[in-house]
């Protein structure tokens, strides 16, 4: 028996630290706690930009001027409506599906119901389908959310911004200006984040020259996994299970003493405070005061302070999930829809990176270290024990 050793092939489990491609789209500086889109600090984009402007930046490599932004926003608004058959077929499925499964299936239906059922070969056509998907993912997510509450879908309002319309379709009414701004910021902060699992999955499928819809369904399938998406739903479950600051103190002390994982802390890349969590914390304070959820914010801050005291020197600090779930809960959104919202934002990053990679495409084909036997003799079935 001969094993292929680590000395013969460089091996790192989970591809950690392995460079798969080059990019100009986004950069995560884990040591400094910085996130950049096309060179712009995400904190500046969260303060001054919009999701439409950010998506344009990711796609085209520059911030749009007023005319370009108006045209891009108008195009997004024109693409928001879904074919009626998509939702009809989703709600007719025989089993109660996870919202992410419904979202994944909905994207597949969108491709099948497209009149040309496209496998676009040129990048401009792929980009156009990507812009359409950005618009339709928000509508599809909102429709799924309302179906789960036994509520009718809300028609998109072309007069509203992408974030304001998304919140309107989710809740059936216009949000407060702060709520609409917070949704905009949430979409900006989730739009791209390095070579994460769902982005990589999308790019692997695209590298085969499959269609864009298949790439996006791969991203959604990857994001569904609890090690990638969904942690913020578990954070809000944790916060809601605690009735007071005092109970939160007891909870976190017990978890620390037993070395139990506390949801919303630690990150594979960040060794400093996640910049997205820092931005979300400020908005969470304002939004919870507006919506009467300030007691949950106090509980969250109590947990954060105690965990930082215990683990900051180990680089275990709040990540984006710690406050994003509290924000979505305060916006009146059910926890089961938190991860679909993530997808409705990250679609911009998925498509932008797919298009960039296809400009100089090479099929992804990593190797595996084989550690099984070789030259095993075949035994006829009648001679086997």
pTM (2 d.p.)? 0.93
Q: Give the integer Cα–Cα distance in Å for 349 and 154.
A: 26
**Residues in contact with 164: Cβ distance below 8 Å, sequence separation at least 6, in sequence order:** 174, 175, 180, 183, 184
Judge contact between 60 and 351, C-beta under 8 A.
no
pLDDT averaged per 10 residues, the chain (length 385): 54 77 94 96 98 98 98 97 89 82 94 66 86 97 94 96 98 95 98 95 95 95 90 93 96 93 90 94 96 96 95 91 95 95 98 95 89 93 95
Judge contact between 29 and 269, C-beta under 8 A.
no
Q: Which of 143, 211, 321, 329 is catalytic?
A: 321
Q: Is 228 a catalytic residue?
A: yes
Q: Is 193 a catalytic residue?
A: no
Judge contact between 59 and 355, C-beta under 8 A.
yes
Q: What integer pLDDT is reported at residue 1 of this predicted model?
A: 45
Q: Which domains does the chain have, with CATH numbers?
A: 231-330 (1.10.230.10)
Neighbouring CB atoms inside 10 A of 90's CB total 20
CA distances (Å), 26 to each of 167, 201, 211, 317, in order? 27, 17, 23, 22
Q: Give the integer Cα–Cα distance in Å for 321 and 284.
A: 12
Judge contact between 352 and 25, C-beta under 8 A.
yes
Structure token digits, residue 176: 């407060």
Block residue for tokens 């969250």:
300
Judge contact between 43 and 275, C-beta under 8 A.
yes
302-326 per-position pLDDT tens digit? 999 999 999 988 989 999 999 999 9
Strand partners, 34: 29
Q: Which of 267, 334, 360, 375 is catalytic?
A: 267
Written in H, E and C, the secondary structure of the chain is: CCCCCCCCCCCCHHHCCCCCCCCCCEEEECCCCEEEECCEEHHHHHHHCCHHHHHHHHHHCCCCCHHHHHHHHHHHHHHCCCCHHHHHHHHCCCCCCCHHHHHHHHHHHHHHHCCCCCCCCCHHHHHHHHHHHHHHHHHHHHHHHHHHCCCCCCCCCCCCCHHHHHHHHHHCCCCCHHHHHHHHHHHHHCCCCCCCHHHHHHHHHHHCCCCHHHHHHHHHHHHHCCCCCCHHHHHHHHHHCCCCHHHHHHHHHHHHHCCCCCCCECCCCCCCCCHHHHHHHHHHHHHHHHHCCHHHHHHHHHHHHHHHHHHHHHCCCECHHHHHHHHHHHCCCCHHHHHHHHHHHHHHHHHHHHHHHHCCCCCCCCCCCCCCCCCCCCCCHHHCC
Q: What integer pLDDT is reported at residue 42 of this predicted model?
A: 98
Q: What integer pLDDT is reported at residue 166 of this predicted model?
A: 98
Judge contact between 137 and 107, C-beta under 8 A.
yes
- 44-73: b (≥16 Cβ within 10 Å) or e: ebbeebbbbbbbbbbbeeebbeeeeeeebb
Q: Which of 98, 157, 228, 294 is catalytic?
A: 228
Judge contact between 76 and 54, C-beta under 8 A.
no
Block residue for tokens 């998907």:
133
């Amino acid at each position: 028996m001969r094993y292929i050793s680590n000395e013969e092939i460089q091996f790192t489990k989970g591809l950690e630290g392995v460079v798969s491609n080059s990019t100009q789209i986004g950069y995560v500086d884990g040591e400094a706690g910085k996130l950049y889109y096309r060179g712009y600090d995400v904190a500046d984009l969260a303060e001054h930009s919009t999701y439409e402007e950010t998506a344009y930046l990711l796609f085209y490599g520059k911030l749009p001027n007023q005319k370009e932004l108006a045209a891009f926003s108008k195009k997004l608004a024109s693409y928001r409506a879904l074919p009626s058959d998509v939702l009809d077929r989703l709600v007719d499925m025989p089993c109660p599906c996870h919202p992410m499964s419904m979202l994944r299936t909905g994207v597949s239906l969108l491709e099948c119901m497209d009149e040309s059922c496209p496998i676009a070969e040129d990048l401009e056509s792929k980009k156009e389908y990507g812009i359409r998907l950005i618009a339709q993912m928000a509508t599809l997510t909102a429709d799924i959310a309302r179906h789960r509450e036994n509520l009718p879908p809300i028609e998109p309002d072309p007069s509203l911004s992408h974030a304001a319309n998304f919140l309107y379709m989710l809740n059936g009414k216009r949000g407060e200006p702060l709520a609409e701004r917070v949704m905009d910021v949430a979409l900006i902060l989730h739009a791209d984040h390095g070579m994460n699992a769902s982005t990589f999955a999308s790019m692997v499928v695209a590298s085969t020259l499959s269609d864009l819809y298949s790439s996006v369904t791969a991203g959604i399938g990857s994001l569904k996994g609890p090690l990638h998406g969904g942690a913020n739903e578990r954070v809000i479950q944790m916060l809601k299970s605690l009735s007071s600051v005092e109970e939160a103190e007891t909870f976190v002390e017990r978890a620390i003493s037993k070395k139990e994982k506390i949801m919303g802390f630690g990150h594979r890349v960040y060794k400093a405070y996640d910049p997205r969590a820092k931005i979300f914390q400020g908005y969470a304070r304002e939004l919870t005061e507006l919506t009467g959820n300030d007691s949950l914010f106090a509980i969250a801050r109590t947990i954060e302070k105690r965990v930082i005291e215990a683990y900051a020197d180990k680089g275990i600090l709040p990540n984006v999930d710690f406050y994003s779930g509290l924000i979505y809960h305060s916006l009146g959104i059910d926890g089961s829809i938190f991860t679909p919202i993530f997808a409705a934002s990250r679609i911009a990053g998925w498509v932008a990176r797919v298009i960039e990679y296809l400009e100089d495409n090479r099929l992804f084909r990593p190797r595996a270290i084989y550690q099984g036997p070789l030259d095993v003799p075949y035994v006829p079935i009648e001679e086997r024990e």
